[in-house]
Homo-oligomer: A and B are copies of this chain.
């Protein structure tokens, strides 16, 4: 491979007869030059086939334009779509993204954050949940979290409470006899807990016979299948011939639940009404299309970047005003009715 010699500020200065200081000003504060001189330098860069060295520029002005992202995994459709949307924001905001997969290991994530700090990231978006927000706030850099505990840092979350209310109300409209919510154990300071609270409030306001099943379904398909089979057996023992309204915390699990019922009965039994969460592709592609609560992932990603950019811009001012309080933005979800509830 041939290695081209980089064009330096010296080369540009010699070519244009400007001083190196003027060339440096062109890159770091172009408005301080006349339009005519900007034009001359711009033309020289073309003539010399100048390749910008952003690393050198960073050292001059201290701005890397890097944003760090720490995300638990990309297997879950919600995470991969959030990352998709954040990365696409480059077109609007111009920030470049250094991405790490945390995989739920707290110590590893701490190490990733140190690595990101060493690369002088200007801000950080965190979706993983292992590190308390108190500790994140102590990094003293702009941070926005998405769907995790966020007491001490700014965040963008879905209105999970509203989502829980929407899902449960849909089941209520179909006159279910018993209302089940299936979820993994969730701490009250996590935004997704709102789904549980929304379910509980609708059930209690309407004096509904209800039950929450807290269960880690597992990480492999075999485990999830086994656990959901046991849950179906238990429900059929506890509530025979009763119309069961089941609100499942995500579409992936809802789809597996429905497919187990299809494999057992050849169709979705009349006494099952099911609502998922996320409006992920599987909810429409399923054998029985799944009613679900959709999250506006594009909006969530966009608001997160907007909030982060505001903080990052503030820091570039001569006298930055530190943010007094974390800002928490909440995005309203939407309900989609499909065949798992609309049977008539």
What is A's interface to B at a CB cutoff of 8 Å? 1-4, 51-56, 58-59, 64, 73-75, 80-81, 83-84, 87-88, 90-91, 96-101, 103, 108, 112, 115, 117-120, 140-141, 221, 252, 255-256, 258-259, 262-263, 266-267, 281-282, 284-287, 322-323
B51, B108, B256: the one within 8 Å of A285 (CB):
B256
Given the known interface contacts A1-B140, A74-B84, A84-B74, the answer about A119 and B55 at a Cβ–Cβ threshold of 8 Å is yes
Q: How far is the CB of A60 from chain B (nearest CB, A)?
A: 10
**Closest B-chain residue to A90, C-beta based?**
B100
**Closest B-chain residue to A52, C-beta based?**
B118
B75, B97, B282, B284: the one within 8 Å of A84 (CB):
B75
Q: Is the CB of B287 within 8 A of A259?
A: yes
How far does the alpha carbon of A83 sit from the alpha carbon of B69 in the complex, in Å? 14
Top 8 closest pairs, chain A to chain B, by CB? A287-B287, A80-B80, A74-B84, A1-B140, A54-B118, A259-B287, A74-B80, A52-B118
Known contacts A74-B81, A255-B285, A259-B286; 9 additional CB pairs below 8 A are A1-B323, A2-B140, A4-B140, A73-B84, A75-B81, A84-B101, A87-B99, A96-B98, A221-B284
How far does the alpha carbon of A88 sit from the alpha carbon of B56 in the complex, in Å? 29
Q: How far is the CB of A102 from chain B (nearest CB, A)?
A: 10
Can you report 9 residue pairs joining A to B where beta carbons are below 8 Å apart?
A: A55-B55, A55-B58, A74-B74, A90-B100, A99-B99, A252-B285, A263-B287, A282-B282, A282-B285
**Closest B-chain residue to A284, C-beta based?**
B221
Q: Which residues of B contact A51 (CB under 8 A)?
A: 117-118
Given the known interface contacts A96-B119, A119-B55, the answer about A281 and B101 at a Cβ–Cβ threshold of 8 Å is no
How far does the alpha carbon of A115 sit from the alpha carbon of B90 in the complex, in Å? 11
Q: How far is the CB of A329 from chain B (nearest CB, A)?
A: 20
Q: Which residues of B contact A56 (CB under 8 A)?
A: 59
B59, B83, B84: the one within 8 Å of A59 (CB):
B59
How far does the alpha carbon of A87 sit from the alpha carbon of B75 in the complex, in Å? 13
Q: Which residues of B contact A108 (CB under 8 A)?
A: 91
Q: Is the CB of A53 within 8 A of B120?
A: yes
Given the known interface contacts A98-B96, A287-B262, the answer about A322 and B1 at a Cβ–Cβ threshold of 8 Å is yes
Q: Which residues of B contact A267 (CB under 8 A)?
A: 266
Given the known interface contacts A59-B55, A73-B84, A284-B221, the answer about A97 and B96 at a Cβ–Cβ threshold of 8 Å is no
Q: How far is the CB of A108 from chain B (nearest CB, A)?
A: 8
Q: Which residues of B contact A88 (CB under 8 A)?
A: 101, 103
Given the known interface contacts A59-B59, A281-B221, the answer about A54 and B119 at a Cβ–Cβ threshold of 8 Å is yes
Q: How far is the CB of A313 from chain B (nearest CB, A)?
A: 14
How far does the alpha carbon of A81 sit from the alpha carbon of B83 in the complex, in Å? 13
**Closest B-chain residue to A253, C-beta based?**
B285
Q: Which residues of B contact A221 (CB under 8 A)?
A: 281, 284-285
**Closest B-chain residue to A88, C-beta based?**
B101
How far does the alpha carbon of A278 sit from the alpha carbon of B221 in the complex, in Å? 16
Q: Which residues of B contact A91 (CB under 8 A)?
A: 108
**Closest B-chain residue to A141, C-beta based?**
B1
Q: Is the CB of B59 within 8 A of A87?
A: no
Given the known interface contacts A120-B53, A140-B1, A266-B267, the answer about A100 and B87 at a Cβ–Cβ threshold of 8 Å is yes
